[in-house]
Every structure is written in C-alpha cells, then in structure tokens.
Amino acid sequence: MRLSRKVTIVTGAGQGIGAATALKFAREGALIAACDVNPEAVSAVVEACRQAGAEAHGFTVDVTDRHAVDAMVARVQAQWGRIDVLVNNAGITRDARLQKMTTKQFDDVIDVNLRGVFHVAQAVVDGMVAQGSGVILNASSVVGIYGNFGQTNYAAAKFGVIGFTKTWSRELGPKGIRVNAVAPGFIETPILSTVPAEVLAKMREQVPLRRLGQPEEIANVYAFLASDEASYINGAVIEVSGGMTV
C-alpha cells in the first residue's frame, strides 16, 4: 500500500471529492482524520474508512474557525504523534455575476476556500518542519486557471490557492515538505445537484471525453501526489479535467 501509516488530514471529507479521497487513502493504508462541518457525514466517512481496514477518526470542523482548526490538529497530533499529509479540500460555491454578487457571497467563499486553506496549512506546518517531511495538497480548480462566468469569488479563491501552492513549495521545499495543487474540471459531485440537466449536458460537451469526472478520479491523483512515487513533484498544479481546456 502506497500510503501505509501516513497520518492524513482531509478537510471537506463529508462528501464528493473529500469523501472519495478519504476512502482512497484508507485503502492505501493511511491513517485518516476526516474533517467536515457536517457531523453525520463525518461519521459515515469514518465508518467507510474503517470498513476498508483503516484506522480513522472524525472531526467536526469549520475551517474558517482558526481555534477549531488548531484544536483538531492538536488532537490528531496527540492521537498519532505526527501529521504526514494534508489534503486541503474543503470548499463551497456561492455563484452570481459581478453585478449581482453580494458581499456576503464573496466573503463566504473567500473565507472557506482561501482563508480556510491558509488556516489548516499553517496549523500543520510547524509539525511537518519539525519532523523534516510532509505533503500539503491544495484543491484549486480549472476555474482558478481560466476563470468562469458567474464565479468571481470562486475564481479569486482558486487563483489564490495556486499562489499559496507556488509560494509554499518554495518556502517549505528546503525543509522536506512538498506542496502541490490539483485543479479539477467538471466533477460529478453534490455541488452540481442544483445544476439543470441542459446545463450539465453543455458541460459534458465541453469535455473531449464527453463526460463529467468522478470524485474517485481526483482522489487517485491526490493519492499519487501524497505518495513517494511523486517525490520530485513540488509546486505543481495538476489539471484533471478530461481535456476540457485543450
């Protein structure tokens, strides 16, 4: 197993890509700290990871709450003595065109998708530096590379996550810590549940593979980047979009 005994924190683990990532890492032998704002979803993911044979614990955490993040990291450290991998996956959308977007819509997305990434990374980094190793994986998006209609807030946050990734890879690489980002395209997750069928059809048409991605296809990339097989990949932004931007 590629991630045997790797202590891994996954934020936004309650559904979609986060849940698939926690389960993929569990199957690869990792020790899982599954974090989400939804306690019932956390419990379900933890049970799935345990059914897969992994040691797993759940934490109800809002990544915008720095005190809650610090408390979670302290508990993971106390439980397993170290943190090897952070998958900074938690994210939300609050879409609107620039002329219609409210300040609250803007702030909510920046707080979760950008400030939350900062909070959790900063909370784990001292321990990784002390042990001389670690992997931080950040969730960006193709929207964070190319922009998207109606997503001023989301694009700004995901562009910012790429900036974090590039900067931290320079700062932390000499200390034995690799930092990379994954930029998914259109992935079939609950976040798309309110999108009309005709819009989903148009989304599929934009992808050369003529389908939406599956959460497991993103989880597979996270697992590779967390493993020693990716030991010379640092500061990269890996687009996983079925070729939609070709």
Residue ranges of the chain with per-residue pLDDT less than 50: none
- Percent above pLDDT 70 for the chain: 100
Asked if 21 contacts 31 with a C-beta cutoff of 8 angstroms, the reply is: no
In a domain, 113, yes or no: yes
- Predicted confidence at residue 212, as pLDDT, reads 95
Question: With contact defined as beta carbons under 8 Å apart, do 85 and 30 qualify?
Answer: yes
pLDDT number for residue 143: 95
Q: Is residue 216 part of a domain?
A: yes
Joined tokens for residue 4:
């045997």
- Can you give the residue range of the structural domain that contains 166? 7-236
| E runs forming strands in 61-195 | 85-88, 134-139, 177-184
Beta pairing class for 85-88 and 7-10: parallel
Establish if 114 belongs to a structural domain: yes
pLDDT at residue 220, as a whole number? 98
Would residue 243 count as lying in a domain?
Answer: no
Phi/psi at 119 (5° precision): -55, -50
Who contacts 31 (Cβ-Cβ below 8 Å, separation ≥6)?
A: 5, 6, 7, 8, 54, 55, 56, 80
Structure confidence by residue, pLDDT tens digits, 133-157:
999 999 999 999 999 999 999 999 9
- Report if residue 161 sits inside a domain: yes
In a domain, 119, yes or no: yes
Give residue 245's pLDDT.
Answer: 87
- The pLDDT assigned to 128 comes to 98
Question: What CATH number is given to the structural domain containing 147?
Answer: 3.40.50.720
Q: Report the domain count for the chain.
A: 1
Rounded to an integer, what distance in angstroms lies between the CA atom of residue 69 and that of residue 66?
5
Q: Answer whether residue 135 is part of any domain.
A: yes
Q: What is the pLDDT of residues 94-120, one digit of tens each?
A: 999 999 999 999 999 999 999 999 999
In a domain, 241, yes or no: no
- Based on the residue annotation, tell me whether 154 is a catalytic residue of this protein: yes
> In this predicted structure, what is the pLDDT of residue 195?
80
Q: How far is CA 240 from CA 13, 140, 145, 181, 209, in A?
A: 19, 11, 12, 11, 12
Longest CA span, the chain: 51
pTM over 0.85: yes
pLDDT value at residue 96 = 96
Distances (CA, A) of 136 to 103, 106, 182: 30, 26, 11
Catalytic option among 146, 154, 222, 232? 154
pLDDT at 246: 84
